[in-house]
């Protein structure tokens, strides 16, 4: 059974704080690692898809890194804003399937 774990489960930060989350996944049969942003009452939206060991992706204040050999990825948010409040999902890509973690719920207080 493929297991994708995310930590922490939830996080409360003040506006302006920087924060990061972890996604752990199997280090064998790796195809891709995805990050999605999921706001309440909406659908998940893709942030990044990473495929190579050492990949780093950036979109505005959000960035992600990938280590396929040890099976982890980090998502960083610099200078958190209230609009960053959402659940952040990672997903491990294995052949034709994505296995999702349970997410990190981020709340940013003004």
| Residues found near another protein in the complex (CB under 8 A) | 31-32, 34, 36, 42-46, 49, 89, 91, 93-103
Q: 89, 103 in Cβ contact below 8 A? A: yes
Q: Are strands 5-7 and 19-24 parallel, antiparallel or unpaired?
A: antiparallel
Residue 64 in tokens: 């992600």
Q: How far is the CB of 93 from another protein (least distance, A)?
A: 3
Q: Residue 18 or residue 102: which is nearer to another protein going by CB?
A: 102
Q: How far is the CB of 1 from another protein (least distance, A)?
A: 9
Nearer to another protein, 69 or 97 (CB): 97
Distance CA 72, CA 25 (A): 6
Q: Read off the tokens for 94.
A: 């294995």
Nearer to another protein, 48 or 108 (CB): 48
């Amino acid at each position: 059974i493929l297991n994708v774990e995310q930590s922490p489960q939830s996080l409360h930060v003040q506006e302006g704080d920087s924060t990061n989350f972890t996604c752990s996944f199997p280090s064998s049969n790796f195809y891709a690692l995805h990050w999605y942003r999921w706001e309440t009452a909406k659908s998940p939206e893709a942030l990044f898809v990473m495929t190579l060991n050492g990949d780093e992706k950036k979109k505005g204040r959000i960035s992600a890194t990938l280590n396929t050999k040890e099976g982890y990825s980090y998502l960083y948010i610099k200078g958190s804003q209230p609009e960053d409040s959402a659940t952040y999902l990672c997903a491990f890509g294995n052949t034709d399937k994505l296995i999702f973690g349970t997410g990190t719920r981020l709340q940013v207080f003004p």
